[in-house]
Amino acid sequence: MTAIQIDSVEKSYKGFKALKGVSLSIEQGEFFGLLGPNGAGKTTLISCIAGLIRPDVGSVRIHGHDVVKDFRAARMALGVVPQELVFDPFFTVRETLRLQSGYFGLKNNDKWIDEVMENLDLTAKADVNMRALSGGMKRRVLVAQALVHKPPVIVLDEPTAGVDVELRQTLWKFISRLNREGHTVVLTTHYLEEAQAMCQRVAMLKTGNVVALDTMSQLLRRVSGSSLIVHLKQGTLPEGLRHLVAHDEHDDASKPDGKGNKYTLRVNEYGEVEHILARLRESGAEIDEMQLQQADLEDIFIQIMEGAPIR
């Protein structure tokens, strides 16, 4: 079953095209990552999904319901955690959650509200006014508000931006549980290690276009190799290995750092490590430290955003 169907969505603001024909299909039960740099169009796309922004062209469906024409059914199926830390200063945490529940047509929802608060460590703050909460606590309430009607599709727009480790762990534990129970989760985040750990499939947006769409395992396989970081006690990198020096944001690490000679070398196969070590030995270089670093989502992200070919 398709949880979110996005077809050729375009959106412009005063001549600036924020989305240029985005099409995506997210299946029920998926943990899906929507990644991209600032200004890529992630929040615009999420706003289209949530019905906060109306696309100029194209359509969005939640569980088959058009978010504009059949907005009631579409919104009932959707819970959105907005990126901005917004709250209503008039109410306590419990009042906020009861009101949000009522907007979704749910009366006597206290049992689930209590469970959500418990899972997000909000119970102790239930009767505290929203104004008195820390930023992290307000973020938890935002998450709780999105979950108050048990939506089958949950969209989290940078839910861990600026929050402490404890909340991250609490949040991911709860969200993972909901995902295991069958809820679809769409996540945007700048913390790529979070996306790598949580998401089964990822779309990368760049200037309003989808530039990559694949499962996490396929994406990780597509990256061009791993990195071998060598720290030489004495000697320098032989000429024959210079072509392996990484040319990315780690460039600084590929140059001597003053304390010794530290190099980051790209390796496509593990067999190349043996070759590198042999060359270093031949040149008389002495290795102080060595680390083989597996390519991760961040490497892929950087390559894709820089427009480098992905193998």
Partner 1 sequence: MNFFSVGFRTLFYKEILRFWKVATQTIAAPIVTSMLYLLIFGHVLEGRVQMLEGVDYTAFLIPGLVMMSVLQNAFANSSSSLIQSKITGNLVFILLPPLSHWEILSAYVTASIVRGLSVGLGVFVITAWFAHLSFTFPLWIIVFALLGAAILGAMGVIAGIWAEKFDQLAAFQNFLIMPATFLAGVFYSIKKLPPFWLAVSHFNPFFYMIDGFRYGFFGKSDVSPWTSLAIVAVFFVVLAGVAINMLRRGYKLRH
Binding site for partner 1 (CB under 8 A): 13, 47, 50-54, 71-76, 78, 80, 82, 84, 86-91, 95, 99-107, 145, 149
Q: Please, what is the minimum distance in Å from the beta carbon of residue 53 to partner 1?
A: 5
Q: Which is nearer to partner 1, 138 or 262 (CB)?
A: 138
**What SS3 class is residue 173?**
helix
Cα 176 from Cα 191, distance rounded (Å):
17
The candidate with the shortest Cα–Cα distance to 212, out of 221, 199, 203, is 203
Q: Which is nearer to partner 1, 105 or 240 (CB)?
A: 105
Q: Please, what is the minimum distance in Å from the beta carbon of residue 146 to partner 1?
A: 8
Q: Please, what is the minimum distance in Å from the beta carbon of residue 82 to partner 1?
A: 6
Q: Please, what is the minimum distance in Å from the beta carbon of residue 39 to partner 1?
A: 17
Q: Please, what is the minimum distance in Å from the beta carbon of residue 185 to partner 1?
A: 17
Q: Which is nearer to partner 1, 104 or 298 (CB)?
A: 104
Q: Which is nearer to partner 1, 101 or 303 (CB)?
A: 101
Cα 275 from Cα 237, distance rounded (Å):
13
**What SS3 class is residue 3?**
strand
Check if the beta carbon of residue 310 is closer than 8 Å to that of residue 303: yes
Q: Which is nearer to partner 1, 82 or 152 (CB)?
A: 82
Nearby residues of 31 by Cβ (< 8 Å), 6 or more positions away: 179, 184, 185, 187, 198, 199, 200, 201
Cα 39 from Cα 52, distance rounded (Å):
17
Cα 267 from Cα 295, distance rounded (Å):
10
